[in-house]
Amino acid sequence: MSGVQDVTASPGRCAIIMVLGIRDYKKAKPKILEVCGKLEALVRSELNRFPDSATGTVLAFGATAWKKLFKGWPVPEELSLFEPIEGEKHLAPSTPGDLFIHIRSGRMDVCQELAGIISQSLDGVVESIDETHGFRNFDGRAMVGFVDGTENPTGDDTKEFATIAPDPQKTGKADFSGGSYVLIQKYLHDMKAWEALPVEEQEKTIGRRKYNDLELSDQAKPENAHNAVTNIKGENGEELKIVRANIPFANASKGEYGTYFLGYAGKFSTTKRMLQNMFQGDPPGNTDRLLDFSRAVTGTLFFAPAPDYLALLAEEA
């Protein structure tokens, strides 16, 4: 089973990711709030028909959309427009987006049906900025051939890192607990250059063995390995994590092969630090070796309210 606003669910075998722009906020608001109110019923209907499909949907809002749709409401503390992160060699760009819809399931036909229903509900008031169809690759591997999501937290830690912790000082509209900041980026891979690398060099780039997914020893792992630069710690030395729902995508006729990065976190500052390490380096210049073969072409920050808060928004209709 999955459900609505479950940011801790597995990436699924199939996914459709939609990034939408709002044309006219006055006309769009009632339709968007209607979707907020009926999203749970839509997903429940699919799960009743296909109980083994593990279908789930996340609806999230960009900073501009939140402020314009919900004037007078509190704004999630870390919700803002994503600022580009530029290093000497690499750039994490910022791209537009007002609404984010993440549909995942064990069946692409279910994803497609939900995407169609939601799109019809928003017809005439939004425009498509991007729609990407993703799939589970062999053994959960990214297009570059390594298992993805290995560094995700497990067990009770998953919810702790993926969602905002409760705060007894905040209630009602100011209570964003259970919600999640989601940073999305589309990466395109230079597969010719990547596949020209010997497997040993690929492993040093990722920081893991390619075939058994074992992490390289500290002695064998370069400082600029992907899983080295994204390993960050808090003030007390504790490891900070996010939940990745990454999904591969491809357009073979265009020679496009990529990874859609979806990072769910209770604190966007954690995701931001990871990106700064990747694109700028800590120390400066020690950038992620994987970026020599993977180029970020989008970057947008959204906030996904918890299910109860989504229902609260729907009451505005």
Greatest Cα-to-Cα distance within the chain, rounded to the nearest angstrom: 59
What is the distance, to the nearest Å, from the Cα of residue 305 to the centroid of all Cα atoms in its chain?
A: 14
C-alpha closest to that of 233 among 263, 180, 274: 274
Query: Identity (one letter) of the amino acid at 217?
Result: S
DSSP 8-state symbol, 209: -
Q: Is 148 a catalytic residue?
A: yes
Written as six digits, the tokens of 94 are 């910022």
Using CA atoms in the order 1, 36, 159, 266, what is the torsion angle rounded to 10 degrees? 160
Nearest-angstrom CA–CA distance, 186 and 106: 22
- From the list 6, 98, 130, 148, the catalytic residue is 148
Task: Give the active site residues.
Answer: 148
